[in-house]
Amino acid sequence: MKLHELVAATHSPFHADGSIAPEVVATQAAFLAANGIRTIFMTGSTGESHSVTTAEKLALYDAWAVAGKASGLKVIAHVGSNCLEDSKTLARRAGELGFHAISALAPSYFKPANLSALIDTCAAIAAEAPSLPFYYYDIPVLTGVSFPMEKFLTEAPSRIPNLAGIKFTNPDLVSYRRSLDVAGNRLDLPWGVDEMLVAALATGARGGVGSTYNWAPKLYLDLIDAFNRGDLDEARRLQSVSIAMIDAIAATGFLGTAKALMARLGVPVGGARLPLGNPSEAQMDALMIRLGELGFAEWGAKPLQQPALATA
């Protein structure tokens, strides 16, 4: 499996009271498919993984199994947890549902003491869904776990038969290049830092997994097209637009504000759970003005067309 495309890291939908809202998943799936997304990555960082219970994740898995198929989307399930047994439960369910791949970040409370312990942890998870490709999810800024990924790619394949690669959410481009050299054509390293996509493409990236692809996929598709045709000035300009949009959203708390933006686009994913915060309506009104100034009408995702009301 190769993720040589834009993969949207989806939000976990909640009701106004904070409870899980799996019935919204069908709307999410239809919205993303209508905006050109073909593969999604669920219950990861954007999905507030550590704020969602295992039972809630299983409910979202069931919803995405149906909605993904209905909208023609490939589904990748993040199964990582601070509890290895929970990760195993999630991996088994992903395999039973026939998802396209699984992924797991490192435990971040009791951390693996060395690279071998990290590989052992990933191997135990991957073995629960042996028919699915497994991606290690490297995001040291949030897990506090940082090992040379080129060494992971050298040592892990013999211990993880279904290893597909690494979701590389680590801004260290030197490590990324080293890892690409080790991966060759055997393993896949989708990039995970949206604000650095141009730099990653120049380093050798072929695709990416990110949260901003929910609400501005065209911006990044245009950026990739500009890069591929050698128009680096345009690719850099679009990356600057991406950064400006992300900065505007992050000013009021990135995840909560991004979810509120999705609601404005007709996908009611609810607010972020504590300890994350959420913006006020006034802050969202100001954000929409700023995004408009940055060209959101051109590059932002288009709301789903609502069916016409029946007339007598």
Residues acting as catalytic residues: 137, 167
Distance of CA 287 to the CA centre of its chain: 23
Question: Closest by alpha carbon to 78, among 50, 102, 54?
Answer: 102
Neighbouring CB atoms inside 10 A of 68's CB total: 26
- Residue with structure tokens 């055997």? 186
Residue 23: CB atoms within 10 A of its CB come to: 11
Burial class (CB in 10 A: 0-12, 13-18, 19+), 292: exposed
d(CA 281, CA 30): 26
Q: Find, among 50, 47, 138, 43, the residue nearest to 94 by Cα.
A: 43
137 DSSP β-pair partners: 105, 167
Assign 171 to helix, strand or coil.
coil
In whole angstroms, what is the distance from residue 101 CA to residue 89 CA?
A: 15
Asked whether the bond before 275 is cis by omega within 30 degrees of 0, the reply is: yes
Residue 288, CA distances (Å) to 70, 130, 249, 266, 297 in order: 31, 45, 10, 14, 10
